[in-house]
Structure 1
Amino acid sequence: MTTISRPWQAFWVVTAVIVLTDSFFIFINYQSNWQMLDQEIGRRNDALRSGFQISLMSSATNMQQIATYIANDIHVPEAFLKGKLAVEAEGGGPGGREAARMRAALFAHVKPGWDKMQKNYDVRQLHFHLGPGSLSFLRVHAPHKFGDRMDEVRYTVVDCNRTQAPTKGFETGRVYSGIRGVVPVFATDPHTGKQVHVGALEAGTSMASLVNYLSSATGYHIAALLNRDHLEKYVWPEYLNSRLEKDLIGDSLVIEEAKAEDLPLLKMPEVIDVIFNNHPLILSERDPPLAISSFPFKDYRQASLPKGKPAGHIVAWHDISPELHALKKGLLINILYGLMVFALVETILFASWKLGIQKLELVIQERTKDLEEANLLLQKEMRFRTEAEEKFRHILQEAPVCIASQTTRGEALSLNPACAQILGYDSQEALMDGIGRKGENLFADPAEYRHFQNILKQNRVTENFECKARKKDGSDIWVSINACIREDRNIADVKWVDSFIIDVNERKKLEKLKEEVEHITRHDLKGPLTGIINIPALIRREKGLTALQEKYLDNIKVAGFRMIEMINMSLNLYKMEMEQYQFAPIDINFKELVQRVIDELEGFSSQMEISIRFDIKEGADYGQEAFIAPGEEILCVTLFQNLLKNAIEASPEDGNVSVFLSRTQGHIQVRIHNKGKVPDQIFPHFFDKYATFGKSGGTGLGTYSAKLFTQIHNGEIEMTSDDETGTMLTIRFPAGPETGSRPKPT
């Protein structure tokens, strides 16, 4: 009975999980439907916003068309021009009697048409302005008011008079706001007969017609509100105070257009929040339930600025009873489906569970036996791992190399005894206390530590990083560090740095000693060479020397000087390996240089009974400067001497060495050929340092230095060798410009 009760407890737990899961999916579906409704209301608000902008521009365009129609009346421009001339003659502003007479004549002409426009086209304002700026000449809608300037209010008029082009948009005036269309007025100057700009004609309508149109087209309740600070900037104080007394909502909004029955809704705090947050709101508890949304709009002036401020807000709301009814209906259907699915799943689960319990008892018996066997194996594995960990700990403690671990922030985690021994501490604990458990204190130079950390961050590993470490007694020793960043596979974001630190202080001392010995050697060799260089001068004091003997004496002198240069070059070879060499090229004639090297080796080749053939390919496309290229002469001479000497030594008896000089597109190419074959043992390492084979006294530096010198010149060197064709070395140097492109010397 006990073995069966626990599975049935699990059955009821699974049943509870199914109930919770089913309820969760019903809840998620319900929330998703709410979210879809919210998104739909947002889309409707976006559509309303687009419709408002389109309707606003359409209304403004209609006002422009009406203003254009009146401005094109043949009598209007003429009367307007006479009025302008009268105002100018009578001192500007409202003018005098003549200006008043012209104003009355213009008003009498447009008054009949104005009455019809008010009745049929909902035109609220018709206003003639003189430029520049906006000087009121005639308000057809208020003919008793004129002569005032509105440069800081009528930006549509100011821009129209300035550009002499039509303007349109929403704008707030001294009394009320409106949608305005403004066109320039031109007339024929009676004195010159030319068209002149007179001023601007403004036609305007109220926001009410636009709001009523949108409300009837969409079925929404719509209200237009203006920002209080916007009205305070433009409206005359006496009109502003009146509006604030009856139309103020909250502290910062004033009703521009709304129905009286909508005022209580607009003054609700929730609606005011919608206005300022521009996020739709659903009032589901109201009867009927409403969806309320809002969006800002700008006037003509602010719309033309990159960061213009809104002049006001459009608020819209509509009945969403059908949508909420569908939402609740969907919830009931989901609950019904959920109950049906739960009943079906529970029935299948009960039958399956009962059958499964019977099989489970048999499986438990088999698995118990398997677990006992696995437990024995696990105990053996644990003993093996314990022994392995003990061996690793022993290796770590006895290793002659410093093994250290630290966090990526530089906090020391562990150090083996070798670390304490290298740095002169009595124990690991003393070392940890001495460095304050900070890895950076192992370094003598903080800048070296930062450099080490930067390499680790970029590459996650560093090899053979050599620097000075600070010992307990304050002295410094050279160490080499190999380190890498490790990560815990089971715990994310857990990283540390493992380092292997080797004492290379003795090696550094030997390297310094070697450098000093090499410097002394180079210095001691220069004394005997100076004597050799002076021997040709002493021999020339004896008369009767042949031309060939004179040539040999010159070769001895040149070779002696070159030997001194090569001694100096040994230091440069080291700088090249360390990438510290400063390349200083000059123009070199490779044709003359190669010939000079061949001449200097003539005695050596004669002694070896090997002839040297020099073949120069001088095509018609190349001039005298075809073989001139930038380089360092001593490097190039040394390069070709080493390669030619090797070719002579490797040639069979009575053989010959061929040197081919040619110019290809962009390169000078030198090929050196001999009939001998490079041994298979040395072929893969031909250009490696200290690579030599079968040559007594060979250093293995000739081909290695040739490769370095070629690379310094941004050139290429390659070698082929086989039994049939012998060995061919090819060297290419970037050439100077060909004939015709090199500037002539001046």
Structure 2
Amino acid sequence: MALLFVGLAGVIENRSQQQLMKQLALEAEGLRNGFEMSRKDLELQMLTLASLLAENTRIQTLFSQGVKVLRQEGGGAGLDETAFWRHALHLYLDSRWQLMQSEYGLRQLQFHVSPGVTSFLRVHDPGSFGDQMSGIRPIIEDVLNDQQYRSGFETGRIYSGIRGVVPVWFNPPGKPREFIGVLEAGTSFDQQLLRLDQQYDAGFAVLLRRDHVEQQVWQQHQHRNGLQLPDTCSCYIEASSRPEIVEWLSQEIFPAYTDQTLQSALVKSATQTLHVMRFPLSDYAGLREQGQPVGSVWIWQDKSALVAGIQLDQLRNRVLLLLVYLVALGLLLRLLQLTRRRLQWRIDQAVAQQLATAQALEASEQRYENALGAINDGLWEADLHTGQLHWDQRCFSMLGYAETRALCVDDWYAQIHPDDLRYVQEVIQEHLLNHQPYRIEYRSRCADGGWLWLEGRGKVTQWHNDEPWIMTGTVTDISARKHAENELRRLSVTDSLTGLYNRRYFFKRLSALLSACQRNHRPVAVVMLDIDHFKQVNDQYGHACGDQVLCEVSVRIQSLLRQADVLARLGGEEFAILLADTETDGALELAERIRVAVSAQLIRIGEQKLTVTLSMGVSQVQRSDQSADAVMHRADSALYRAKHAGRNCVMTDSIQSESVQ
């Protein structure tokens, strides 16, 4: 609250300061306008005085005779006769010159002729004449060129001042009037500044640039253009209504003036607070050509009383704000005390309720953790906007990672088995369309490079502008279940004793190949075989030995088959072989190799060595076969003939190949 009151005091004082500066700016503009109006009046006065003299017939006659003789004598300063008429003109003007000096403050009175700008007579300095001022006095040049009245501020060879320049005409009897030259009347700013000082109770000064004065004025007359100040100012004080400006400029108490616009500022001197105003002063040529100002006008007023009054008002406001602050602080403290008691009661109630809620939440979280721990599921969350993926510790442990690490969604896709990746992407894409939770089974790469079967569940839990944002889910290790499923699948198609395919799988493959044979005209052969006198082995050596014989025969037959061939135990001592892309001759050749290989090597059972022979029947799948039973019936018939032919031989349904041990 203290800062609020301090800020309020600052705002009030800043507003007061802004109003003061606005008032000073308006005053500065008014004083500038007053100076300009007074300058225009002074220019008009100089034009009036010059016009009165230019219309004097005696002056016209003397000036005309002098100019005529000057041109006859070659121009410039002229010779003796020109000097005569110049002197005559000066004598005639002397009394009028004295009067105009005393009554109107006239400082220059000068006659000029062409060509160029040639001084014919300086009434204020009669000894200086005949000098050429082309390029020095633009206002004279312009009147000589077009004979139009002109006025303005300009610096000449001797003085700077306000000029009124008029053409001088001569009216000879019975002839048209003749243009002779121009008459110039000039004065300084001294009288003007004194009148303005009295009118506005403010100091006025006109400062000229030193380089301008030294370029325009003859060196011997430069001291007439005011007081030259030190190099820090680089200026002349052409005129001033008060003397203190000299000391202030020497002490450099004013800020630099560089922007050539109306400048208004408060400046503190040793004893006063001054309102200082400055604006550029342009001469006749500068106004005509928008050139650089030749100096500046300074105005200053004592604002000590005004500033002191504002400071007193500010002090009063500060004291008043302090009292208001203290009262408000007391009321606020009392209100805070009452509010604190009420809030404390509410806080106690809220804390008790929050404590109960926290305990319930903690118990709920513990139950959730216990449930997750029991099922050993891993939790994950994916930011689909940034691509960041967060796994909990169970996810990393499940895949064999000892430590957690930062992941992104692409890392997860990179760990999925290539055979499962497309399926996973399709399921997730479908979920984003129908917004239904998904469930997928896939393999993920473990830390050791192996593959682990996982079951993933998830859904988008947060949406932003109909776009998925946050997806959350779980993963479960289903490798044991997958292993059990694979084992059940294997047991359903294999013989438990020999590990060969069973009768069910054999007929399933035979039916598939029968369809392929009919579509693509691929040859398929079936070989049925039976172990000769197997019942005697069981009766003589026992069923365990019989099982050993079955297993050993299975191994020997399997070693002679191609990877694509299917060997199955149909039951008891009966086996079948399914040969894809095989003609009858190839099947007979293979069957013969099997028969020879099995009978050629004894089977050791304990201390006994047995010779085992096979009876085999071969059948070729025909395009006319409608079912697997037809093929198997022909193969079984061939096997039957092989047994009746003495066993240990191979028979077909049309061709017999026999070899007796």
Residue among 310, 315, 339 paired with 1:332: 315
Q: CA deviation at 1:247?
A: 4.3
> Could you tell me which residue of structure 1 aligns to residue 7 of structure 2?
24
Is the 2:227–2:238 Cα contact (8 Å) retained in structure 1?
no
Give 1:364's match in structure 2, choosing from 332, 336, 347: 347
Listed as ranges, the gaps of 5+ residues in structure 1 are 1-17, 398-413, 421-488, 490-746
TM-score using structure 2 length: 0.52
CA separation in 1, counterparts of 2:357 and 2:63? 110
- Indicate conservation of the 8 Å contact 1:396/1:416, yes or no: no
Q: Aligned equivalents of 1:230 and 1:371: distance in 2?
A: 87
Query: Which structure 2 residues correspond to residues 118-197 of structure 1 after superposition, within 5 A?
Result: 118-188=101-171, 193-197=175-179
CA drift of 1:280 comes to 3.6
Note the 1:275-424 alignment, pairs <5 A: 279-284=263-268, 286-306=270-290, 308-368=291-351, 371=354, 389-390=381-382, 392=384
Contiguous gaps of at least 5 residues in structure 2: 370-377, 390-407, 415-463, 465-661
Pairs aligned (count): 385
Task: Provide the secondary structure at the position in 2 that maps to 1:362.
Answer: helix
The answer (yes or no) to whether the contact 2:387–2:409 under 8 Å persists in 1 is no
Answer yes or no: is 1:266 the counterpart of 2:249.
yes
**Helix, strand or coil for the counterpart of 1:67?**
helix
Which of 46, 50, 55 is 1:67 aligned to?
50
- Report 1:522-671 matches (<5 A): none
What CA distance in whole angstroms lies between the structure 2 residues aligned with 1:44 and 1:391?
Answer: 68
* SS of residue matched to 2:102: helix
Q: Secondary structure at the match of 1:127?
A: strand
Instruction: Measure, in 1, the Cα distance between the counterparts of 2:3 and 2:285.
Output: 58
Aligned residue identity for 2:66: G
Cα distance in 1, alignment partners of residues 386 and 306 from structure 2: 77
| Contact 1:221/1:316 (<8 A) preserved | yes
Distance in 2, Cα, partners of 1:311 & 1:103 = 33
Counterpart CA distance in 2 for 1:285 and 1:254 is 22
> Quick check: 1:274–1:293 contact (8 Å CA) kept in 2?
no
Seen in structure 2, the aligned counterparts of structure 1 residues 21 and 235 have a Cα distance that, compared at 3 Å, is same
Q: 2 CA distance for matches of 1:202 and 1:138?
A: 10
Q: Structure 1's 370 and 179: CA in aligned 2 closer, same or farther, altered over 3 A? A: farther
SS in 2 for 1:124: strand
User: Are the equivalent residues in 1 in contact too, given 2:107–2:186 (CA < 8 A)?
Assistant: yes
Match of 1:39 in 2: 22
Please tell me whether the aligned partners of residues 47 and 151 of structure 2 are also in contact (alpha carbons under 8 angstroms). Answer: yes
Superposition deviation, residue 301 in structure 1: 1.0
Which residue in 1 is equivalent to 2:198? 216
Q: Deviations over 1:310-368 (max 9, x none)?
A: 11122222211221221122122212211221132123212211211121022213433
Q: Is the 8 A contact 1:274 1:280 kept in 2?
A: no
Tell me the residue number matched to 2:542.
none
Closer, same or farther: CA 164–352 of 1 in aligned 2, 3 Å:
same
Query: 2:235 pairs with 253, 262, 269, which one?
Result: 253
Stretch deviating more after TM superposition (255-264 or 333-342): 255-264
Which residue pairs with 1:204 in the alignment? 186
Aligned match of 2:422:
none
* Structure 2 residue 90 is the aligned partner of structure 1 residue 98: no
1:128 to partner: Cα distance: 0.9
Q: Give the distance between the partners of 2:13 and 2:385, measured in 1 at CA.
A: 61
Between the aligned partners of 1:126 and 1:243, the Cα distance in structure 2 is 17
Residues 290, 318 of structure 1: 8 Å contact kept: yes
- Conserved 8 A contact 1:156-1:168: yes
Retained in 2: the 8 A contact 1:275–1:294? Answer: no
Q: Is the alpha carbon distance of 1:417 and 1:162 closer, same or farther for their aligned partners in structure 2, counting shifts above 3 Å?
A: farther
Residue aligned with 2:254, SS: helix
CA distance in 2, matches of 1:395, 1:262: 76
Looking at structure 2, the residues matched to 157 and 273 of structure 1 have their Cα atoms a distance apart, in angstroms, of 35
Q: CA deviation at 1:217?
A: 1.4
CA distance in 1, matches of 2:354, 2:50: 98
Instruction: Tell me how far apart the structure 2 counterparts of residues 396 and 19 of structure 1 sit (CA, whole Å).
Output: 48
Aligned counterparts of 1:238 and 1:52: Cα–Cα separation in 2: 31
1:105 deviation in Å?
2.9
Q: Deviations over 1:516-553 (max 9, x none)?
A: xxxxxxxxxxxxxxxxxxxxxxxxxxxxxxxxxxxxxx
Deviation at 1:174?
1.4
Q: Which residue of 1 aligns with 2:216?
A: 234
Structure-2 separation of matches of 1:229 and 1:246: 11
2:496 is aligned to none
Report the counterpart of residue 610 of structure 2 in structure 1: none
Question: Which is greater in Rg?
Answer: 2
Q: Does the Cα contact within 8 Å between 1:302 and 1:310 map onto a contact in 2?
A: yes
Any idea what SS the aligned residue of 2:298 has? strand
Work out whether residues 107 and 124 of structure 2, in 8 Å CA contact, stay in contact via their aligned partners in 1. yes
Q: What's the CA shift for 1:370?
A: 6.1
Cα distance, 1:97 vs structure 2: 3.0
Are the equivalent residues in 2 in contact too, given 1:127–1:203 (CA < 8 A)?
A: yes
Q: C-alpha deviations, 1:228-274, integer Å up to 9, x for none?
A: 11112101123337879854462511221234444212212222635
Please list the CA deviations of residues 611-657 of structure 1 after superposition, one character each: whole Å capped at 9, or x if unmatched.
Answer: xxxxxxxxxxxxxxxxxxxxxxxxxxxxxxxxxxxxxxxxxxxxxxx
Q: CA offsets per residue over residues 427-471 of structure 1, 9 Å max, x none?
A: xxxxxxxxxxxxxxxxxxxxxxxxxxxxxxxxxxxxxxxxxxxxx
Q: Is the 8 A contact 1:177 1:207 kept in 2?
A: no
TM (normalized to structure 1)?
Answer: 0.47
Deviation at residue 51 of structure 1 after TM alignment:
1.8
Aligned counterparts of 1:394 and 1:58: Cα–Cα separation in 2: 80
Structure-1 separation of matches of 2:271 and 2:136: 44
Question: In 1, Cα distance between the equivalents of 2:170 and 2:34?
Answer: 38
Decide whether the 8 Å contact of 2:159 with 2:224 is kept in 1. no
Contact residue 209 and residue 295 of structure 2 kept, 8 A: yes
Shift of 1:115: 1.8
1:405-427 Cα deviation digits (max 9, x unpaired): xxxxxxxxx9958999xxxxxxx
Cα 1:284–1:367 change in 2 (3 A) is farther
Aligned amino acid, residue 138 of structure 1:
L
Segment of structure 1 superposing worse, 157-166 or 288-297: 288-297
Partner deviation per Cα, 1:151-171 (whole Å, 9 max, x = no partner): 222211111111211111111
Report the residue type matching 1:137 in the other structure: F
Distance 1:146 1:154 in 2: 15
